[in-house]
Amino acid sequence: MAAVPGREASRTLPIGALFATSLLTAALLAAEAQRAVTYHRRTAEAVLRDYASLAAGEMIRRSATELGYRGCYTLIGALAREAERPDGLEGDVRARLARADPPTPAEAMTLLGTVFQWHGGRLDWMGPPLPADVQSWLSARLAAAGPAGQDAYVALQSNGAGEPRTFVYSPRPDGTACGFELSLPAVTQWLRQAFERGPLLPASLGHGRVTNAAVSVTVRDHGGVERFRSQLHEWPALGVEVPYGDVYSGVLRGSTVRISLDPAAASDLVIGGLPRSRLPALVALFVLTAGLLFTAARQLRRERALARLRTEFVANVSHELRTPLTQIRMFAETLRLDRVRSSEAQRRSLEILDKEARRLTNLVENALQFSRSERGTVLLAMEEQELAPLVDDVVRDFTPLLTGTGVVVRTRLEPGVRASVDPGALRQVLLNLLDNAVKYGPRQQEVHVDLAVGNGQARITVTDQGPGIPLRDRVRIFRRFERLERERQRAVAGAGIGLAVTRDLVVRHGGRCFVEDAEGSGSRFVVELPLSMAGDAGRGSQA
Ligand code: ADP
């Protein structure tokens, strides 16, 4: 009753497909969840960037208005008034502006660079002159400028001589003009004031909780020089860069403001905040699912292997039973029909009958014991006794089974070694080991059964001159249904439960059973049982 490979494959396929589908579903679910989180995050980031644009608009409006109105407009007005005087802009213009009536505010004066006048073709400097190329650039711009529009002044930005400059002038109807260079370093203070005047984000957006501490602002002039930075941190993913454009006569034209928002403030600005990536959790879940499926698959494979072993077991037991039964029937028949000629032949026939009946008994005993052990109904009747007579008895009983094998069993039994044992169980243990020694060893070999005290234990060994057990299989062979591959190839009958029963019984005695190398090629099976202590004699029956 060997397993049918075709049928197994047909069962493996749908189960494998089921597992693969489960794994694929888990992967798809994880990917879908990750996609949802990514989408949600992108949307939230886009909203936050919109808010950053709002803040940028507010920063531009504030700073341009303050600089343009309270700064440049005030200065241009004061300059124009001074220019109207009879002596024009001669002398120390700065001192005159400060003394003028009304006096020019000191705050506005910080912005005042070199003052200039344009007389319809000539540029005059009231202070240190500017580089020649900047002068000619400015002259060209002033010459090309039309009459004054609605704006009170005009702002011009240059990057001449590798340095950004801003000029502010007020054209007059007669084609002349007066103006000044805007001190760009002084702009920093004005930008700071604009920033500090209040939250850049409307209170309604962040429930009034989002202050400027969560907003990073950087302003660069038209030459790219940083003129203001509110803090060291920037959050580029949640930032925007907005140009100043022509706000307030273009006083900061060409400058840009870069604004980004602190992700920590996201929860106040967007419902649910910025969703955090669930990737590690999803990967962990996926790995867990894969692990569970893998474990399930392994378990299933084990179950199948066990089912196959059980099937083989039934086949093997039947096969093992068949040989002695055939022998018994054959010799019984011979005797019954009185076909035996000599009394010697008759004696041999009876010996064989006895031997096969014993083998059968041992086999059935093993099967029963195995079944009891599987069901957990093993009962041992322990009694403290000397082991040497017991072992000797078993060897004596086993001798008929050696008939025709040429095998000799020799014993060396130390007297006085006592242990608490179930005699029936110990008999079965030894019979199994002896049976294996004969079954797997060569004909004409010597099998030694020894009893001694070793390791503080009663030590019974069965040593044969057979092929031995490879090191890697020495644990495995004590498991149920396990047989060495060579036995299958040599077609040696066996069900693979003898050593499992042996080990089970020994362990129930509180001992242990293992195999080691014997001198030469053979194997030595060792049974160690706890020695009886003085006064331990009365231990009763137990499971
Ligand atoms: P069975 O003898 O029915 O196969 P056992 O549980 O008694 O089952 O033994 C398990 C396997 O261990 C055997 O199939 C055999 O391969 C190996 N084995 C057991 N005893 C010996 C031995 N004395 N020498 C060599 N191999 C052995």
Q: Give 489 Cα–ligand 1 centroid separation in angstroms.
A: 14
The answer to whether the Cα torsion of 483, 489, 492, 493 is positive or negative is positive
Contact 494, 320 (CB under 8 A): yes
Say which residues have a Cβ less than 8 Å from residue 308's Cβ, sequence separation at least 6.
3
Residues flanking ligand 1, CB < 6 Å: 436-437, 440, 464, 466-467, 469, 477, 483-484, 487, 494-500, 523
Tell me which residue of 6, 187, 196, 208 sits closest to 112, measured CA to CA. 187
- Whole-angstrom Cα distance, residue 14 to residue 341? 65
What residue type is 362 in one-letter code? N
Which neighbouring-strand residues pair with 148?
Answer: none
Mutate to test the pocket of ligand 1, among 447, 463, 477 (most ligand atoms within 8 A of CB): 477
Radius of gyration of the chain (CA): 53
Q: Give 485 Cα–ligand 1 centroid separation in angstroms.
A: 10
**pLDDT given at position 543:** 35
**Six token digits for residue 259:** 């604004």
Mutate to test the pocket of ligand 1, among 312, 365, 499 (most ligand atoms within 8 A of CB): 499
**Six token digits for residue 126:** 């009231």
pLDDT of the chain along its 543 residues, tens only? 344 455 666 677 888 888 889 989 989 998 999 899 999 999 999 999 999 999 999 999 999 999 999 999 999 999 989 888 887 888 888 899 988 888 999 999 999 999 999 987 899 988 888 888 999 999 999 988 766 566 789 999 999 778 999 999 998 888 889 999 999 999 999 999 999 999 999 988 888 888 999 999 999 999 999 999 999 999 998 999 999 999 888 999 999 999 999 999 888 888 878 888 888 898 998 899 999 999 999 999 889 888 888 888 888 888 888 888 998 999 999 888 888 788 888 888 898 899 899 989 999 999 999 989 988 898 899 999 999 999 999 999 999 889 888 999 999 999 999 999 999 999 999 999 999 999 999 999 999 999 999 989 999 999 999 999 999 999 999 998 889 988 878 878 888 899 999 999 999 999 999 999 998 889 999 999 999 875 444 333 333
Q: Give 326 Cα–ligand 1 centroid separation in angstroms.
A: 23
Q: Give 468 Cα–ligand 1 centroid separation in angstroms.
A: 10
| Longest pairwise C-alpha distance within the chain | 166
Q: Give 437 Cα–ligand 1 centroid separation in angstroms.
A: 8
pTM: 0.57
Helix, strand, or coil (residue 337): coil
Query: Ligand 1 atom 2: the closest Cα is on which residue?
Result: 494
* Residue with tokens 């879940």, as numbered in its chain: 285
